[in-house]
């Protein structure tokens, strides 16, 4: 009886892994359990290698085939992220430095967070999960004095978004719809108009994969609504191989971590970041120069500081997906 149960458990596990692999290959991240299963794909799909060995040794060819599909998918995810050519040094242009952080809405260490953000010497700071209390305390602890201009939508749930800029904000727009928050500002940096989108998207298990996918489409629509220089930062609650995130490439949005050879880096959970949920995306003529992690006191996410140049040239990458992943 026990060997039979073990056998059934092994087949069930192999079936789940195969389902995860196939849905990634065909570009599907629905329903919600599929999206959740895909989060850890580079790690979980590594089980495909021993499955191939066991299947071949025991002449269980169906198991071996499952293992091959699983292992190949893992390679298709990981290899491009490991072998990506780092972007060439950008041509001269207007430099911009942006810090992003998911602050964790019930985080009590507001002063420490404000100090960490000010210490980045960023031109613009974008924050998610901010509440009305967070905005009040950030002002009290000197963030507004440092930046001077702000556009925010603070709410009492973990989906508030704010942008703080040392450059005057020429226009702004806020989208708040079904768990999706997007704050857009346009700033002028040394004569160049630059759009900044700060986003907080729902998780696939909160409102369901349909709402989560719709949130990514809302980002793509916002990006496509204007052809000026664009930088998007935020908590997408998605990894590079999730189908909705990959489709952001259709709006010519490119993942900065991927462009700079850090596609396998993580931002959550902060003590041991396994998954990159927090992303910076650029579109020509914004060229990424560097991106570094930023420890956010009291938060469960790592933030980042991204440096870009706004130039009249692109960065030598063809059209494609926002993240490195199988097509």
pLDDT tens per residue across span 115-148: 999 999 999 999 999 999 999 999 999 998 999 9
Q: Are 192 and 121 spatial neighbours (Cβ–Cβ below 8 Å)?
A: no
What are the residue boundaries of the structural domains of the chain, listed by start? 2-83, 94-310
Q: Are 285 and 93 spatial neighbours (Cβ–Cβ below 8 Å)?
A: yes
Residues 6+ apart with CB under 8 A from 246: 27, 240, 321, 322, 323, 325
pLDDT for the residue 325: 44
Q: Are 38 and 242 spatial neighbours (Cβ–Cβ below 8 Å)?
A: yes
pTM of structure: 0.91
Q: Are 237 and 202 spatial neighbours (Cβ–Cβ below 8 Å)?
A: yes
35 vs 21: CA distance, rounded Å: 11
pLDDT for the residue 78: 92
In 10 A of CB 74, how many CB atoms?
Answer: 23
Q: Can you state the percent helix, strand and coil of the chain, rounding each to 5?
A: 40, 25, 35
Tokens read off for 89: 């040094």
- Superfamily of domain covering 94-310: Endonuclease/exonuclease/phosphatase (3.60.10.10)
Residue spans of the chain under pLDDT 70: 1-7, 85-88, 313-327
Which of 198, 167, 170, 146 is CA-nearest to residue 95?
167
pLDDT for the residue 99: 98
pLDDT for the residue 80: 87
Q: Are 18 and 67 spatial neighbours (Cβ–Cβ below 8 Å)?
A: no
pLDDT for the residue 5: 67
């Amino acid at each position: 009886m026990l060997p039979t149960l073990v056998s059934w458990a092994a087949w069930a596990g192999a079936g789940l892994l195969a389902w995860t692999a196939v849905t990634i290959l065909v570009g599907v991240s629905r329903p919600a359990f599929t999206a959740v299963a895909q989060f850890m794909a580079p790690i979980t799909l590594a089980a495909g290698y021993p499955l191939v060995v066991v299947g071949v040794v025991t002449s269980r060819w169906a198991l071996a085939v499952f293992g091959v599909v699983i292992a190949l998918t893992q390679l298709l995810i990981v290899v491009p992220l490991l072998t990506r050519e780092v972007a060439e040094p950008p041509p001269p242009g207007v430099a911009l430095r942006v810090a992003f952080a998911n602050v964790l809405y019930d985080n009590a260490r507001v002063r420490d967070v404000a100090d960490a953000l000010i210490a980045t010497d960023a031109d613009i700071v974008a924050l998610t999960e901010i509440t009305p209390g967070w905005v009040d305390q950030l002002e009290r602890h000197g963030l507004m004095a440092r930046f001077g201009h702000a556009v925010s939508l603070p709410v009492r749930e973990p989906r508030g978004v704010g942008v703080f800029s040392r450059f005057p904000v020429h226009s702004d727009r806020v989208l708040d719809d079904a768990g999706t928050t997007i704050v857009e500002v346009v700033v002028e940096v040394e004569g160049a108009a630059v759009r900044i989108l700060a986003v907080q998207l729902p998780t696939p298990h909160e409102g369901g994969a349909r709402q989560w996918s719709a949130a990514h489409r809302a980002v793509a629509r916002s990006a496509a609504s204007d052809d000026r220089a664009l930088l998007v930062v935020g908590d997408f609650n998605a990894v590079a191989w999730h189908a909705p995130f990959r489709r952001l490439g259709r709006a010519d949005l490119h993942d900065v971590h991927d462009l700079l050879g850090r596609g396998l880096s993580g931002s959550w959970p902060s003590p041991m970041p396994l998954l990159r949920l927090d992303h910076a995306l650029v579109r020509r003529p914004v060229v990424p120069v560097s991106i570094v992690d930023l420890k956010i006191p009291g938060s469960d996410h790592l933030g980042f500081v991204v440096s870009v140049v706004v130039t009249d040239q692109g960065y030598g990458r063809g059209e494609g997906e926002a993240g490195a992943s199988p097509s």
